[in-house]
Chain A
Amino acid sequence: MSASKNVKVNVEYLTRVEGHGNIVVNVKDGKMEECRLDIVEAPRFFEGMLRGRSIFEAQHITSRICGICACGHSLASILAAEDALGFTPSPQTIKLRKLLLHQEMLDSHILHIYLLVAPDLLGVKSFVPLIDTHNTVVRRALRMKKNCNDVCDILVGRHIHPISSIVGGFTKLPQPKDLDAMLEILKGLQPDMEATIELLGALKFPEFSRPTEYVALINNTDEYPLMEGELGSTDGLKLNKKDYRKVTNEFIVDHSSAKHAKASRESYMVGALARLNLNYNKLHPKAKKAAEFLKIKPGCTNPFMNTVAQAVECVHCLEDSIAILEDFKENGVKQEEAIIVGLNEKGTIPVKAGNGVGAVEVPRGILFHNYEIDNTGKIINANCIIPTSQNCNNIERDMQKLVPEILNKTEEEITLMMEMLVRAYDPCISCSAHFLNVKYVNR
């Protein structure tokens, strides 16, 4: 039956912060003629707008690339700026930044697991019907999300577009009562996290496998690297972050105006699954326990399991946040390290010409910011490469392998599988929702 099957899927007008996109699947007489995912960057012209602005403003501006990954963009921007200026942040600053990044990871992963993936696995269109059928689950999701936000409020003023985290350090540092408050919130989150892992254990993820190259930060220490180290891959790649273009190798494909990326082979994947595959041993013991319970191991080649890898990372980020805070409680926060905003006005950090790269593992994968500045600290050139662009090529190749394997299913089931596949990559919460507007043509 599938030999004579015609399938035409056309998902159009997928928009999101980084772009508009389409899913196109065209199977004629059981033969796949077209199967692609186009993501085109939406014209907001950030890299162009940054030119002429002070390097000390870059963080504020680029945080606005994405409201969901605001802390990640902000941190990648700060690291790139400090690299360009030749500034080394203090160990305390680095630790606080890690704490911030953990909150972003938690917040974003929770949103993805509960609001995007769970509705599919529970057979509904969004979390709204779940308010009636799974009220405790919805409440838990919103509560967990709020917890991460509350910690960010204390730490940096707010989660969306953090205020006090800037080039050089923090304009406001947590007081002892703030440490207590954050610890209380995060410890309160632990039972909800356990319930989340249990919930995921009860859900069934589609079976599929396509070996690919996994790219993430790697390091020589025991720490699960999210903001440090070198660029590494499961194909043995090892490069300094300055050489990020050798990893991303952006190229233009005929059928799409979106740039694609490839490293050692035809495509690569970034994100939670890539990180887990490369750095599993460095996860917090509790996270490893969750991984065992959820039956995910390094070497996993099923992209649908990215969501499960995110859950494992949630446990890691939560436990490591608590450890960081307990360490601060014991050793104190050096308040004298608080910096005054407007560093360039004060000349606190000497300005010189330079070229800097920031590489940060944000929820969806490795994010690069690169700035070139002149000797007055003005940005001459800027380049940002987001995880979703890097994954685009890999998603497309997964789609091409998956479609022939599921041709015996109905068109509705095929569409849902394609949506779920793209969603598993968490390409960005808002764009994923657009995949639900699937149109079948010629049927």
Chain B
Amino acid sequence: MTKPRVAFFDFACCEGCQLQVANFGETLLDILNLVEVVTFREVMSERTEDYDVAIIEGSITTEHDVERIKHIRSRAKVLVAYGSCATIGGINGMKNKFPLDEIGKYVYQDKAKNFPTLPTRAVHQVVKVDYFVNGCPVYQPEFVKVLKCILAGIPYAVPDYAVCVECKLNENICMYDKGITCLGPVTKAGCNSWCINNGNICYGCRGMVTNPAKNGQMDILKKFNIALEWIINKLDMYNKPRELDERK
């Protein structure tokens, strides 16, 4: 069997998800036995236009990004949205809360015109995506699962139940019971409730479940006397570009 040729590409992001690959340690060498990494800017200078699997990190925020991702899509047999920025727009999406020319002027003053920008979009909002690896950063065990699916040529389904399911299995005390709001009840699982295990809350980096228990969540908000807009504000930290989905 010939090894699939894998290329990593980064758009607007912190490149931490690519780094998660380098963080595999010596396991990386085992992975390199199964795939041939042909482009990986963060650690390699070799590069090529000939690849089977394109792994996309980052969100689409400029006209140039749009052209580039379309070009990559046209060459790749399989396209993977990798990390929150790529799968849901992520942190970059907070920009969409502001008028673009206003935020441009705030950061770059009179040089703002040198930095033309579009509303932040997730990759699937521009081209077709075959696999989603959610999370900020991606959770390595899940990435390995997705890689196996790609190699086997079968689809990978991102868990579409709440983080709370995993959180309960990890026997964490519910944040709401500690008087803290948490986005676990509306966020897709698959991270093994990484943040809550470490004493923090869920920030919704994996995106919202497609069918959240809306009424149940409303009851929770009422019970703990939490304003809806407070939750929405928290949700907008990673999930603001979801509005562009809804508009379609």
Q: Which A positions have Cβ atoms within 8 angstroms of B?
A: 15-17, 40-49, 51-53, 57, 60-61, 64-68, 70, 111, 115, 119, 125-128, 131, 138-139, 142-143, 145-146, 149, 156-161, 163-164, 166, 170-172, 252, 257, 338, 340-342, 345-346, 429-430, 433-434, 436-437
Q: Are the C-beta atoms of A65 and B29 separated by less than 8 Å?
A: no
Contacts of A15 in B (CB 8 A): 10
Q: Closest chain A residue to B178 by CB distance?
A: A340
Contacts of B114 in A (CB 8 A): 40, 257
Q: Are the C-beta atoms of B199 and A163 separated by less than 8 Å?
A: yes
Contacts of B20 in A (CB 8 A): 160
Contacts of B97 in A (CB 8 A): 49, 52
Q: Are the C-beta atoms of B180 and A340 separated by less than 8 Å?
A: yes
28 pairs, CB–CB < 8 Å, chain A vs chain B? A43-B62, A43-B108, A45-B103, A45-B106, A48-B98, A49-B95, A51-B98, A68-B19, A115-B43, A142-B25, A142-B28, A146-B25, A149-B23, A149-B25, A158-B194, A160-B16, A160-B20, A163-B195, A163-B200, A166-B200, A252-B111, A341-B200, A342-B180, A346-B179, A430-B15, A430-B18, A430-B41, A434-B41
Contacts of A49 in B (CB 8 A): 91, 94-95, 97-98, 103
Within 8 A of A (CB), among B9-33: 10, 12-20, 22-26, 28-29, 32
Contacts of B108 in A (CB 8 A): 41, 43
Give the distance in Å from the alpha carbon of A348 to the alpha carbon of B62 in the complex: 41
Q: Closest chain B residue to A47 by CB distance?
A: B107
Q: Are the C-beta atoms of B15 and A67 separated by less than 8 Å?
A: yes
Give the distance in Å from the alpha carbon of A158 to the alpha carbon of B23 in the complex: 11
Give the distance in Å from the alpha carbon of A345 to the alpha carbon of B237 in the complex: 17
Q: Which B positions have Cβ atoms within 8 angstroms of A?
A: 10, 12-20, 22-26, 28-29, 32, 37, 41-47, 61-62, 90-92, 94-95, 97-98, 103-104, 106-108, 111, 114-117, 136-137, 175, 178-181, 194-195, 197-201, 203, 237
Other A-B pairs, 4, CB within 8 Å; known A61-B237, A143-B25, A157-B197: A43-B116, A142-B29, A172-B198, A342-B201
Residue from A48, A67, A166, A437 within 8 A of B14 (CB atoms): A67
Residue from B26, B117, B179, B197 within 8 A of A146 (CB atoms): B26
Give the distance in Å from the alpha carbon of A199 to the alpha carbon of B178 in the complex: 52
